[in-house]
Amino acid sequence: MSAEARRRAYLEALDIDVWTPRGADPAGAMEEVEVAPQALATDWDGLRQQVAACTLCSLNKSRTQTVFGVGNQSADWMIVGEAPGAEEDRRGEPFVGRAGKLLDEMLRAVGLQRDAVFIANILKCRPPNNRDPLAEEASSCRAYLERQIQLARPKLILAVGRVAAQHLLGSDAPVGRLRGQKHTLNGGQLPVVVTYHPAYLLRSPTQKRKVWQDLCMARQIMEQPDQ
């Protein structure tokens, strides 16, 4: 049995929804690494403590602290980014600094405040030098994110940036091909919208119009009767 199959069996035994992209290979891109061996907490405080004590991958040796996530724990919108940066690692909060301020502006553009959504990352620890997450690191952290999704029960996930989108959807396609369409997890029950990362927009401000289009599409999805 592959590591991913063991992961799925482990999560199902704990009655944790397994968030599988529609049409994706269940093995995904991270099949070589197993998930957390301990039973995951079934409440926010317990899960936060488990994340803070996590030593499943080598990132625990270089982090200042884990970055669990912030915001409304029963929010309709869940924002998923890639990994903490230096400032996030120092403060223990995702999306701070210039990129965080731009994310706040993006949310305000569709009538949302930062504290009205829940913000999390694919990784809970900062990779050295802000490099992309390794497959084994993302795999080790995935059960934590899946539990956060289960606890929050969002009506929509906004995946910001290539790393977040690819890991969530089990895809290697660039953001430019993933954005502009409705993706789903959990057998089509949970809509996912992909857009550019705020840090990318700081370097390429001409792409802001596309982000606005993505945000409008997300808002339209939320306004549909079945959402």
Q: Beta strands 156-160 and 118-121: pairing type?
A: unpaired
Contacts of residue 25, defined as CB under 8 A and 6 or more positions apart, other chains included, come to 170
For 194, list phi and psi in degrees, rounded to 5: -105, 140
**pTM, to two decimals:** 0.83
Q: What is the pLDDT of residue 38?
A: 60
> Residues of 114-126 as b/e, b for ≥16 C-beta within 10 angstroms?
beebbbbbbbbbb
Q: What is the pLDDT along the chain (227 residues), one digit of tens a residue?
A: 444 554 455 445 444 455 555 554 443 433 333 444 468 999 999 999 999 999 999 999 999 999 999 999 999 999 999 999 999 999 999 999 999 999 999 999 999 999 999 999 999 999 999 899 999 999 999 999 999 999 999 999 999 999 999 999 999 999 999 999 999 998 889 999 999 999 999 999 999 999 999 999 999 999 987 65
> What distance in Å separates the CA atoms of residue 142 and residue 139, rounded to the nearest whole number?
5
Q: What is the pLDDT of residue 154?
A: 97
- The CATH classification of domain 3-223, taken from the options 3.40.470.10, 3.20.20.140, 3.40.190.10, 3.40.50.1220: 3.40.470.10
Domain ranges of the chain: 3-223
C-beta of residue 200 within 8 angstroms of C-beta of residue 207: yes
Burial-class residue 22 by CB neighbours within 10 Å (0-12, 13-18, 19+). middle
Q: What is the pLDDT of residue 226?
A: 67
Q: Which two tokens stand for residue 146?
A: 């899946």
Q: What is the pLDDT of residue 14?
A: 42
